[in-house]
Amino acid sequence: MTELRLMAVHAHPDDESSKGAATMAKYAAEGHQVLVVSLTGGERGDILNPAMDLPDVHGRIAEIRRDEMARAAEILGVQHTWLGFVDSGLPEGDPLPPLPEGCFALVPLEESTERLVREIRRFRPHVMTTYDENGGYPHPDHIRCHQVSVAAYEAAGDYRLFPDAGAPWSVSKLYYNHGFLRKRMQSFQDEFAKNGQTGPYEKWLKDWDPELDVVASRITTSIECSDYFQQRDDALMAHATQIDPTSFFFSTPMEWQKRLWPTEEYELARSRVPISLPETDLFVGIER
């Protein structure tokens, strides 16, 4: 097999384990190179696991999240690099407070794009994955991640742009992750009911924004990767400050997940190679 290269661009550590992780583990296990790029260090993330909400953790969150990311990458079998920007946090309130000075979402787009272009030209990926224009959800870093990723995809192959960032490299395809699908959650909720149990997705389904259903219509590519769902979950739990192992994320039995929804979904956003939709492989159309 000729080795191919996949770059997954994410806003924070732990995003890589909740969005496309099984796909990455699959390709890594098949002998391809997979690189996760974390744009920020997640320094402003809250501690979401009560068991980790300890005094000595709060002062060391940046260091701890680096260690968590290293462990998750090891579990998935992927390479990892930090792009070095500072987490913007998630502003809340009405009106929204301003973003912190110097944070990733406020860095000039040209500066952050050049840094990602440098990494693209070094790693030379055939395929990139990132978030859509809504960021998956409206976190300022996720939206900026989309903007930077698209700009870098377009710029990396242009010798006139960022000439000091390495030799030009044209990425063949760019995909958006699409993981939170109503049909997927409903299938799990229905399975709980069939087994006489109360499923954990009732509130999510009740409060579902119909506009989110547009995402399902944009899916072009489904990757069968159920053999790697356990690696996905193990990698997610490696981010112990962010993930409560008793949360509903892990409540659906693995057998149900593999049987009812064995795939991860993507939207092909850009391609420089001929395509035929739908797809079952991110690398389809790329010469091996």
User: Is 209 part of any domain?
Assistant: no
pLDDT at 261: 98
User: Is 146 part of any known ligand binding site?
Assistant: no
For the chain, where are the E strands, in sequence order? 5-10, 33-40, 79-85, 127-130, 173-178, 221-224, 263-271
Mean pLDDT by 10 residues, the chain (288 residues): 88 97 98 97 91 86 96 98 96 87 97 98 98 91 98 98 98 95 94 96 88 87 98 97 90 97 98 97 92
Which CATH number belongs to the domain containing residue 71 in this structure?
Answer: 3.40.50.10320
Is 32 marked as a binding-site residue? no
Confirm whether 163 is domain-assigned. yes
Determine whether 33 is exposed, middle or buried from the number of CB atoms within 10 Å of its CB (0-12, 13-18, 19+).
middle
Residue 230 lies in a domain: yes
Whether the pTM exceeds 0.85: the reply is: yes
Q: What is the pLDDT of residue 18?
A: 95
What's the token pair of residue 224? 């069968």
- Asked if residue 284 belongs to a domain, the reply is no
What range does the domain containing 57 cover? Answer: 5-180+219-271
The answer on whether 58 is annotated among ligand-binding residues is no
**What pLDDT does 209 receive?**
82
With respect to residue 17, please indicate whether it lies within any of the assigned structural domains.
yes
Does 186 reside within a domain? no
CA 162 → CA 81, 85, 254, distances in Å? 20, 19, 46
What's residue 204's pLDDT?
87
Q: Is residue 286 part of a domain?
A: no
Query: How many domains is the chain partitioned into structurally?
Result: 1
